Amino acid sequence: MRAFLMAFLFLILPLGAAQAQSAPPATMIADTVAVDATDRLTASGNVEVFFDGTRLSATQVIYDPATDTLQIVGPIIIETADGQVFLADRAEIDPRLENGLLLGARLILERQLQIAANRIDRVDGRYTQMTRASASSCAVCGTEDPLWEIRARRVIHDQDEQQLYFEDAQFRVRGVPIFWLPRMRLPDPTLDRATGLLIPQIRSSDLLGFGLKLPYFITLGDHRDLTITPYLSPETRTVELRYRQAFASGSIQFDAAVSDDQLRPGATRYYFFGEGSFDLGNDYQLDFTVQNVSDDGYLLDYGYSSADRLESGATITRIRQNDLFLGKAVTYQGLIPLTTSESTPQVLSDLHYERAIYPAAGGRATLQWDFETHIRTDNSGVERDVARLGLGADWTGSRATASGLVFRYGTGLELDAYATWDDPLADAFVGRATPWAMAALSFPLARTEMSGATQIIEPVIAASWSDTMGGTPVNEDGTRSEFDEANLIALSRFSGEDRSETGVRIAAGGSWSRLSPTGWSARLTFGKVWQEAPADDYTLSSGLDSGFSDLLVAGQLDLPNGLSVDGRALFDADFRPTKSEVRVDWQAERFDLGAAYTWLDADTEENRPTAVSEWEIEGAYRINPNWELGVSSRYDVAADEPAEAGLRVNWRNECVTVELSASRRFTSSTTVQPSTDFGLTIGLAGFSAQAMGATPARTCMN
């Protein structure tokens, strides 16, 4: 007969009125319960005790009030409120489960790390001491040695500090000792952040040789931390640093490295990157970046970044319903020969304010002002410095007829004043006024099919006119313009303010889209522009350098199986592509694939003396839950040679993850040379607050 006893307070708590009044009651379930003449209570058969968030299961529990102890016969399972699980054969412990002895026991933390021991002692409900212990997160089958384990004479778990202390510890792989440490401290899986060593990384490079990275993480309070990573190889002595801090209104992060290597003997090489974001209140947002490097090849030599230009500066923004403010100051550092002072001024600043007004007559009026400066501090090339002050006002509106025609119209005036110095070929002061007007007509047509799919066809035609009165400033910000679906009917297709299209322009095109309830969608856009006075500043490959522009064709396709295609192209009068780009992405259960192809005509005005034809492919294939293969490649079709290639192999199970990578960079220049890198990273589960994913544990077979 199964018995259920409520208010089992006398079993669990020490006798004492004050303690009894403050402690919660306990509950016990057992098949049979008996009390002898000495008040010794014995519960037998499927015993379960619930007390203060802790659950105990056993075959038999004996409570002796004379010694105030529990004698428990297993198999025993104790699950504490904080997630610890104890498994044991026999135990003698106090009723609060705070002090006592467990024999033939195991401790399981966060269902990740298990520690088996001949004996486990509980002290004050905080410390768990394990004698002759073995710690591992690997599945153990019978007497077989786990894939890895840490054997120690003694292990102490500090529950409050969430730390594990090992004494006389051996790290073993399949039972073979690899190294020995007299003392070792590791965080338990419940700890989010703790000072200590992180996962080492082995790296082998043609340039730097075989090396080891050993990161050390240091907590500096609840909101700050520092990671120091020594990187040692025959060719370099490097220290990498990462500092992070969180504030009530934002956060910052700084990454840096300092190297003394044989690539540039006697030179101290370094890089320093930083970024931060802060809420300044009153809707103002501050963002900043800091990027600096000692020489042009350092980032590529060490694999830190492939950027060809570094940017440092700060931006303050405020965006509200009817107004916008932007303040920005930026400096640039070019890392390739094509980044010259002519194409990229070293210091740029911009102040911009814009306000929208909705008059009673309808439409929307916009008032705005800008102040920009372009300063060149590198006197080895062009020394020109420019400042611009711009004022603008416009009014736009729209109207739809009962038949579905949509009219959009607008007019405006822009005033600009330029000051230029340190350039004898440019006027010191230029004033300019640009009035403009535009009108657009579209006729969206929608149709719903019997399947529930919706098709929309929207032909559009737009006419615009503008003129410039006054001088012509130097073109600083409009040298790279792209013709795409976003600016098909725009007032001007220049990327900046220094140039504006003039005369009459007519843009015509249309779009077709289909949205299916089964999950797939498609869109196709095409268009062409006629210009009365083609601008001289459009480059040959822009598609806008003649009276009739190139034909723009763009499309997108998304399928429910994870396949998506996005592409656009410009075709000249002979229907030959001058610029084209297509991107294919496919995400499935077993693999991810991304591929892109780019074609760009030769254009000396864009520093491209030969055509660019390039493939880029990256993907990952999950062979099974344990193995994953990743590849990446970039191939220069025009030069008929590879540019980059990479291979990555991942293996993981419930207790370890291994990543082996190899990459090759084939490109070379005056600052960098081709190189091959190999990397190896091994991570052990069980000492991290983050689980390693849903990889299934190995199943033991009889």
- Say whether 486 sits in a helix, a strand or coil: helix
More confident residue, 306 or 228: 228
113-123 and 100-109 as β-strands: parallel, antiparallel, unpaired? antiparallel
In the predicted structure, residue 555 carries a pLDDT above the cut 80: yes
In the predicted structure, residue 16 carries a pLDDT above the cut 60: no
More confident residue, 52 or 701: 52
> Residue 6's pLDDT band (boundaries 50, 70, 90)?
very low
> Residue 417's pLDDT band (boundaries 50, 70, 90)?
very high
> Residue 674's pLDDT band (boundaries 50, 70, 90)?
confident
- Measure the CA–CA gap between 684 and 652, rounded to whole angstroms: 10
pLDDT digits (tens, 9 = 90+) for 190-235: 777 778 778 788 888 888 888 999 899 999 988 999 999 999 999 9
In the predicted structure, residue 8 carries a pLDDT above the cut 60: no
More confident residue, 95 or 613: 613
**pLDDT given at position 380:** 65
Q: Name the CA radius of gyration of the chain, rounded.
A: 35
- Measure the CA–CA gap between 567 and 599, rounded to whole angstroms: 12
Listed range (150-159, 213-222, 655-664, 684-693) with the worst mean pLDDT: 684-693
Per DSSP, the residues of 310-379 read EEEEEEEEEE-SSEEEEEEEEEEEE-STT--TTTS-SEEEEEEEEEEE--TTSSEEEEEEEEEEEE---T
Contacts of 624 (CB under 8 A, 6+ apart): none
- Measure the CA–CA gap between 229 and 204, rounded to whole angstroms: 16
Cis omega (within 30 of 0) on the bond before 234?
no
Question: What's the mean pLDDT when you consider all of the chain?
Answer: 87
Listed range (44-53, 296-305, 416-425, 454-463) with the worst mean pLDDT: 44-53
pLDDT digits (tens, 9 = 90+) for 368-397: 999 999 998 876 667 889 999 999 999 999
Contact present, 645 and 630 (Cβ < 8 Å): no
**pLDDT given at position 334:** 83
pLDDT digits (tens, 9 = 90+) for 39-49: 888 889 888 88
Q: Can you give the residue ranges of every domain in the chain?
A: 3-190, 398-606
- Measure the CA–CA gap between 521 and 536, rounded to whole angstroms: 39
Contact present, 79 and 60 (Cβ < 8 Å): no
pTM (predicted TM-score): 0.78
Q: Which of 258, 269, 257, 262 shows the shortest CA–CA distance to 208?
A: 262
Task: Write down the H helix ranges in 142-254.
Answer: none
More confident residue, 667 or 622: 622
pLDDT digits (tens, 9 = 90+) for 131-163: 999 998 888 777 788 888 899 999 999 888 888
- Measure the CA–CA gap between 683 and 4, rounded to whole angstroms: 47
**pLDDT given at position 9:** 36
Q: What is the rounded average pLDDT of the residues 586-604? A: 93
In the predicted structure, residue 338 carries a pLDDT above the cut 70: no
Percent of the chain's residues with pLDDT above 70: 91
- Measure the CA–CA gap between 386 and 141, rounded to whole angstroms: 75
- Measure the CA–CA gap between 541 and 310, rounded to whole angstroms: 27
Contacts of 604 (CB under 8 A, 6+ apart): none
**pLDDT given at position 367:** 97
- Residue at token pair 């209570």: 41
In the predicted structure, residue 4 carries a pLDDT above the cut 70: no
Q: What is the rounded average pLDDT of the residues 497-514? A: 94
> Residue 20's pLDDT band (boundaries 50, 70, 90)?
very low
- Say whether 301 sits in a helix, a strand or coil: helix
